[in-house]
Structures are given as C-alpha cells and as structure tokens.
Structure 1
Amino acid sequence: MTFPRLARFALCAFVLLLSTATYAQRNKKEVNEYPNATRSDPKSTMSEREQRDLSKATDLVNDGKGTEAMPLIEKALGNAKIGKYAEAYAYQLQGRAKWELDDEAGAIEATKKAIDLNTLPNNQHFPLLYQLAQMYVQGENYTEALTTLERWEKEAGKTTPDALALKGNAYYRLDRFQEAIDTMKKAIAGSETPSESWSQILMASYFELNQFDEAAKLTEAELAKKPNDIRLIKQLATIYVQGDNYPKAIEVLSKARSQGLITSADDYMQLAKLYANADKPKDASEVLKEGLAKGIVPASLDALRLQGDLCSQFDDDACAIDAYTKASPLAKDGNVDYQLGYLLFYADKAAQAKEAFTRALTKGGLRQEGETYVLRGDTENELGNDAAALADWRKATTYPSAKAMAEQRIKAATGGVKLKRPVKSKT
C-alpha cells in the first residue's frame, strides 16, 4: 500500500480589517483564544499612516491579488519609522502573498520575520506560528515542522486534533512510525470528524512496523461504518494478504463479489489469484470466467493464460484448451502453445497438437524446448509420420532434460516395438 503526500495546505488567513480605530481598542473586544499562553499578549497599535498604507495591501491579499499587494507591502516595510507591530503585520501579509505566488522559501522567510519580531497579539502570533509549521510540512522540512509545532504547543498552552495530526504526519515522513501511531491515534480520538487522511497515515505506520493485526482492526472498524465502501474492502483484503491471512482476504473479497461490489478487472484478478494461492483453482477459475464473460476482465494474455493454468489444475481440459487457444495469438513466446499442444495431444487431437508444438518451437523462448520436440515427435508418431517422429526425438536428445525420454522412444521405434502413449502428467 502506498499513501499519497498530503495535499497542499490551504493556509488560513488571519486578517484584521483595518479602520481608523486603534488596534488596542479593537483587541479589547476579541475573545482570548490562548488563555493558557506562556507569552504575554503585546499591545497592538498602528499609526493612521501605517493603517492607511497596509489597508489596501490587506484587501488585495484577501482577494488573492498578491502581485498587486507586494509593492504596497514593500513600501510599508521600507519606511524607516515603521512601528514594530506594523512591521510584523506587513511581514505576515508578505508571507501570505508569497505563498499564494508559489514562493515557498520567501513565504517562510517573511513569516519567520513576523514571528521573530514578537509584537503580534497572541490571536495573530500563535496562528502564524502554526501556519509556519504547515509551511514546513508542505516544503518537506519535517524536522523544522516538529520543532515549530512543539514550540506552538508549549507557548500557546494548548493543542488540537489538527495539530496532533500534523505532528503525526511529520513523524511518519521522518520514519518515526511508532511516534506517528501514538500521535495520530490521539488526533483521531480527540476529533469529532477526523480526516480520512489521518487514518491513512496511521494505517501506513502500522504497515511499516508490520503491525498488520492493528491495521486490520482499524480498517474493520471503518468498514463497519461503511460496509459497501469498496476502497476499504480492498484495503482490508490487502492487509490480510500482507499478514499472510489469505482465508480472510478471500472471505472479504468473495463477500464483496456476491454483493456486486467487485466491478474492476484488478479486483477480479486479485480474487482469482488469492483462490489460486490457496490451492482452490476451481474457485479461481469461476471468478476469472465470470469477469471475462462480463467483459470486466479484458481477454488479455495474462488473464487467458491464467484461466488455462487454473482449468488444467483441476483437469477441465476443455476449458484449458479454449483459454490457451485464445491466448496463443497474443503470446510472444511458445510456452502457451506448448501447454495447448500437450492438452490437445491427450485429447486425441494429434494434428492440432502438432500445429501447436510447431508454433511453440517457431516462437521460441521455451522453458521446456527439449520436451516440446519429444511431444511433437509423439504426435508425428500418432499420425504415422515415422521419419518425422525420429527426427524430432533425435533433436530432443541434444537437451539434457529430454535426452532420456527421447532415447527410449528411438530405441523402441527402431527396434520394432509399438510405442504406447505416455502417461499424462501435470504440466
């Protein structure tokens, strides 16, 4: 399983509407969001000129017009007499504008300057510190993200499920999987509406530590809430497979199939292969046959060859011959035709078997090239072509794996002994 990188954060805008009123007067009406903060809440005042210069820049940034806002922000920052609060506010605006303009490094630099001035009121300072942590995660600087989040928690005197989830994400990206698990579990437990991505990171962390039982419990709980969610069904099946619990994986997917939830080629192929791995070739064949019949599974070489192999395993030769015959034109090497020829020979179709063996040898790439010559010789013998049979058997003696079989046939044929059809074996 893989888990996608978190989407780009929509960074929150913490904006105060500028007016002729002083910030000290406005802040008196605000609710203190950080009553347990260890940082004293600074006074926030701006001169009328600073308010005027930054008011339009604020509106432009709020409207997503960072390019137009930048000259106004730089003008304010270029004022040698700018107040410390106005300066921090301007850097905050600059950070937002640069972020929207995809200048991540510039946005982080400006945001850090706003924080380091230490003059924003708590209701602006701490959200900005948290925003910086988000920026670090987005920029894949997870160590700095954790440092910033720990500072935020300590100085703000609080934490939230979202903050814990952000930490859990950073721990995961740093391969600190147990810490990711512990933190993300707290985030999920503390939230009324935990994000789906949180569970995915928790799941990925369990996987990395091979804690498949825990991963299964998590997905089973989610599936209980959404019993028809095929994504969760496939995820749970994958977890069972990773934990070598094939019966459970089969149970989950076969139930989904009975409910009509298995609707993709990959799903059908996965279930068929699970049955095959569990030594249930007949069940595997039925699943694959259904997928092919419905047109969900394309009649590809892999699917048809698998169908032929499965049918061969439980001696449904007619099914296997049909599958291999359809697969033959798609195969680049001769191995499918070898299998087909073998089955045709034992189905008393020597002429067709000969054609299949000849195709196999022509295409090449055979795993059992010597055996192919032996069997084509057998078909020639069945057809009464003695010279051709001897030629194939003699060719087969040049292959160590087929030498003994070929020599036995040559000895019998040249000694006037009537050859009996060899015993059919699993191919």
Structure 2
Amino acid sequence: MKLSKWIPAAICTLGLVLAGGAALAKDSKKANEYPNATRQEPKPEMSSSEQRDLSKAADLIGDGKDAEAQPLVEKVLSSSRPSKYGTSFAHQLLGQIYYDQDKNAEALAEYKKALETEGLPNAQHFSVLYNVAQLQMQDEKYQEALATLDQWEKLTGKQTADEFAMKANIYYRLDQFQPAVDTMKKAMSMTDKPNDSWMQILMASYFELNQYDQAAQIVQDQLAKDPGNKKLLNQLATIYIQGDKPQQALDVMAKAKSQGLVTTGDDYVQLAKLYASADKPKDAAATMKEGFAKNLLPATYDNYKLLGDVCTQSEDDPCALDAYSKASPMAKDGNVDFQLGYLLFYSDKSKDAVEALSRAISRGSLRQEGEAYLLRGDAENDLGQSSAAMADWQKSLGYPSTKSMAEQRIKAAKGGVKINRPTKKKAK
C-alpha cells in the first residue's frame, strides 16, 4: 500500500533567480556561496544592448509580463554575434517563460541550452542546474534528476538539506525506501527546521518498509505539535491498522471523534470498520446509524452493506433487514440477498425469504451457493411447497458444505418426518 496520496509531488517549488542589469553589476561583490566549486567561473561579459534587453526582460518576467519579455529575449538569441553570457542568460529567461506557460519540456530544453553555453556565473549556473533537476523530477524522470543532482554536488562542492530532501523524495518514488530513509535523515540532520513534507516522506518510507513503529513515532511527534490535525490522526490510524494494532487505531479515531474531528462520511465509515475489527459491532452499528442520521453517509451499496453486516453481528435483525433491503437493488452479486433471505427466514417471513434467495441465486457469484439452495428449500418447505423444497435440497447435494444437511432433509421428507426449522446461525 504505497502512501503516495500523502506525499507532495515535489518538495521545493521551482524558483528561478532572475538578474537584471543592475543586479549583474553587483554580483561580483557578493560573498562566494560556492567556495569549493570545481567549475571554473567565466567572466560575466555581454554587450550593453544585451544587458539592456535582458535586464528589461528579466524585470518584465518578474512582473508577470512574459509576453512582453519574450521578444526581447528572442532578439538577443537571434543576434549575429551574441556573447556567451548573453546567450546563456537569454536561454535561462526563455526557460522561465516556458515554465510559466506550463511547457515543461520546452523549459527544460532552454535551461539545458543555458548550461551548455557555459556563459553564466557559478551562482546562476548552479541555480539553473538545480532547476533542471526539479523539472526532471516533476516530469517523473527520476533517474535523470538523481544524475543532475549528483552533477550539482560535484560542480558546487556543496551538499544541502534541500538537495538531500529532494533526493529522498525521488528514492521514495522509485520504491527505494531504505535509501529514502537514509537520505531524508541526512537532510533533517542538516537543519533545525525540517519541512513538514520531509517528515511525511520519511514516515511513508518507514511505512513501506513495514517499520510501523518508526512511522507511527514520526506522526505522533507531529501530533504533539498539532493535536487537532485530522490528516495526521487518519495517517496514524492507518499505520496502526497496517501494523496489526486495531485497538490503537480505534483509540486514535475514538479520540478524534471526542474532539469533534470525525466530520465526514469517510471518517464515520473508517471508525465503524475499526469498531467492527475490534469486535465491537454495536459501537460500529451506532456509528453508521449516526452517520446516516447526520446525512454524512451517502446511500451507497457499500455503506448499506456495512451497516447490515455490523447490525447482523450485533444481533439487531430489524436494522440488518432494513440495511440489506436498501443494498439489494444496488448489488452486483447475490451475497447481500442471501444474507437478507437468511434473516427473513428466521423472522418468520418465508415467502419474502424465497424471493430474496431466488434473487441471490439468479445474481450469482455466491460465496455460499449450496447454503442458498438449502435455505430456499427450507423456506419453501415452511410454505408447504414440498416439490420445490425437494428440488432445491437435491441441488444442495452437489456442494460439500451442504451435502450432509441436504441428505438429512431429503431422508426425513421421504419418510414423512416433520422437518423443524433449523437453528439460526449468524450469516457470513
């Protein structure tokens, strides 16, 4: 059960640093972010016209005026003798324009051209390289993204928490859960304020490794800071369920209900199932009834069947009859009708039981087909329809689970012995 729905598609949003002409002049005065870089930094030289056009284009993009910026960028790229810096920067800006238009493939191609031209200063070059890795990840090119991040590390001579977190996210999506754990723990060790999404990836990776205690501990730590977080409570309950700890899962959801956090149909269904798995069918039935009473539970086959099942288990036959009757018209097989027929027979409604069991047999895919014929025979016998009863008992002879009981009934009927109503058992 992969918890992809819990994990953000990307850890970091794409954040391209745009530099206008004025900013370019100041770049040389900034502290060197990459003192251990292995890339030899080129001189950021370009013509005054390139600087004027690209500075204006960068400002326009920053103001969200991409359509006005694009002709200026393309003007530089079409120049007969563009500088390496101007060409690289123009490709970078065009990549940003394409990215803003959700044209990831085109954006990626432009960023790669910006890198291949080798005209950008280190800080700018490394920023574009990191953007390439992010785009590759967004496009699910995970191996390429990992290779790009390795290249980023080699060229920058640097490792960061964000970079390791992105790698961990990629490992998770490649189903490499132990590397995801190891890498994310490394990322978290490098910062005092790890992103919440990093915790989610670490938790989900533990989950996929069946290390449920570790996964639960991460969620518990987050809940300690945000005890009313419904999403976290649901996650913790799911982890306990997968870890075969139904009582702990039930405790989590019951507490959530006491806090007023069980507010949706899905919440009520989950809580009811937890009560049922903890062998508390009365609580499960009460939960489902409350959900229906509050109009939170839609009138679906699954919801009515669940209500019927827990009411049957709690021996609330009127509730089960009502629920199964509502589920029956939506059923795709005969199993609900079999359960309905069973309850109707033991409610002294043999005529209705025959009708329900006939639907069950007609719809098919029965888990207890032999029992359906046997029970319909009992109901027909109860109505004095001896020939129909004998025919159904004969059919139930063909099923190992009902062969012995069918033989007893047939022998008794042929010997003129009165057949009493069999003892009621819980329907499965």
Q: TM-score, normalised by structure 1?
A: 0.85
Match of 2:389 in 1: 392
- 1:16 match: secondary structure: coil
The ranges of structure 1 where at least 4 consecutive aligned residues each deviate by more than 6 angstroms after the TM superposition are: none
Query: What is the CA–CA distance in structure 1 between the aligned matches of 2:224 and 2:406, rounded to whole Å?
Result: 62
- Select the residue among 6, 11, 16 that pairs with 1:13: 16
Contact 1:136/1:144 (CA < 8 Å) preserved in 2?
yes
Match of 1:171 in 2: 171
Match of 2:264 in 1: 264
Match of 1:277 in 2: 277
1:22-421 equivalent positions in 2, closer than 5 A: 23=24, 26-331=26-331, 333-347=333-347, 349=348, 352-362=349-359, 364-365=362-363, 367=366, 368=368, 371-382=371-382, 385=384, 388-399=385-396, 400-401=398-399, 402=402, 404-421=404-421
Cα displacement string for residues 268-306 of structure 1 (whole angstroms, at most 9, x for unaligned residues): 222222332333333322322332333322343333333
For the pair shown, which has the larger CA radius of gyration, 1 or 2?
1
CA displacement at 1:221 relative to structure 2 = 1.0
Query: What is the CA–CA distance in structure 2 between the aligned matches of 1:73 and 1:331, rounded to whole Å?
Result: 62
- Select the residue among 2, 5, 22 that pairs with 2:4: 2
Query: What is the CA–CA distance in structure 1 between the aligned matches of 2:27 and 2:372, rounded to whole Å?
Result: 89
Seen in structure 2, the aligned counterparts of structure 1 residues 49 and 324 have a Cα distance that, compared at 3 Å, is closer
Query: What is the CA–CA distance in structure 2 between the aligned matches of 1:311 and 1:355, rounded to whole Å?
Result: 20
Calculate the aligned-residue CA RMSD, in Å: 3.0
CA displacement at 1:131 relative to structure 2 = 1.9
Query: What is the CA–CA distance in structure 2 between the aligned matches of 1:155 and 1:369, rounded to whole Å?
Result: 69
CA displacement at 1:166 relative to structure 2 = 1.6
Q: Which has the higher contact order (CA 8 A, sep 6+)?
A: 2
Contact 1:177/1:205 (CA < 8 Å) preserved in 2?
yes
Query: What is the CA–CA distance in structure 2 between the aligned matches of 1:371 and 1:343, rounded to whole Å?
Result: 13
Seen in structure 2, the aligned counterparts of structure 1 residues 331 and 135 have a Cα distance that, compared at 3 Å, is closer
Seen in structure 2, the aligned counterparts of structure 1 residues 2 and 137 have a Cα distance that, compared at 3 Å, is closer
Structure 2: which amino acid aligns with 1:71? P
CA displacement at 1:330 relative to structure 2 = 4.4
CA displacement at 1:232 relative to structure 2 = 0.7
Seen in structure 2, the aligned counterparts of structure 1 residues 338 and 180 have a Cα distance that, compared at 3 Å, is closer
Query: What is the CA–CA distance in structure 2 between the aligned matches of 1:50 and 1:354, rounded to whole Å?
Result: 91
Seen in structure 2, the aligned counterparts of structure 1 residues 111 and 398 have a Cα distance that, compared at 3 Å, is closer
The count of corresponding residues between Structure 1 and Structure 2 is: 418
Structure 2: which amino acid aligns with 1:216? A
- 2:4 match: secondary structure: coil
Cα displacement string for residues 121-145 of structure 1 (whole angstroms, at most 9, x for unaligned residues): 2332222222222222223222232
Seen in structure 2, the aligned counterparts of structure 1 residues 141 and 374 have a Cα distance that, compared at 3 Å, is closer
Cα displacement string for residues 347-406 of structure 1 (whole angstroms, at most 9, x for unaligned residues): 4x2xx23223223214523534554454445445545x3xx1343223321332455544
Structure 1: which amino acid aligns with 2:392? K
Contact 1:301/1:327 (CA < 8 Å) preserved in 2?
yes
Seen in structure 2, the aligned counterparts of structure 1 residues 256 and 404 have a Cα distance that, compared at 3 Å, is same
Seen in structure 2, the aligned counterparts of structure 1 residues 405 and 55 have a Cα distance that, compared at 3 Å, is closer
Structure 1: which amino acid aligns with 2:363? G
Give the share of equivalent positions with the same residue, in percent: 53
Q: TM-score, normalised by structure 2?
A: 0.85
Structure 2: which amino acid aligns with 1:222? Q
Contact 1:50/1:86 (CA < 8 Å) preserved in 2?
yes
Cα displacement string for residues 124-180 of structure 1 (whole angstroms, at most 9, x for unaligned residues): 222222222222222322223222222323332333322222222222233332222
Seen in structure 2, the aligned counterparts of structure 1 residues 2 and 418 have a Cα distance that, compared at 3 Å, is same
Structure 2: which amino acid aligns with 1:354? K
Contact 2:36/2:158 (CA < 8 Å) preserved in 1?
yes
Cα displacement string for residues 171-227 of structure 1 (whole angstroms, at most 9, x for unaligned residues): 223333222212222323434443333223223322332222221111111111111
Query: What is the CA–CA distance in structure 1 between the aligned matches of 2:221 and 2:57, rounded to whole Å?
Result: 49
Seen in structure 2, the aligned counterparts of structure 1 residues 290 and 113 have a Cα distance that, compared at 3 Å, is same
Query: What is the CA–CA distance in structure 2 between the aligned matches of 1:392 and 1:77, rounded to whole Å?
Result: 89
Query: What is the CA–CA distance in structure 2 between the aligned matches of 1:199 and 1:296, rounded to whole Å?
Result: 32
Structure 1: which amino acid aligns with 2:351? K
Contact 2:177/2:208 (CA < 8 Å) preserved in 1?
yes
Contact 1:240/1:246 (CA < 8 Å) preserved in 2?
yes
Query: What is the CA–CA distance in structure 1 between the aligned matches of 2:105 and 2:376, rounded to whole Å?
Result: 71
Query: What is the CA–CA distance in structure 2 between the aligned matches of 1:62 and 1:195, rounded to whole Å?
Result: 26
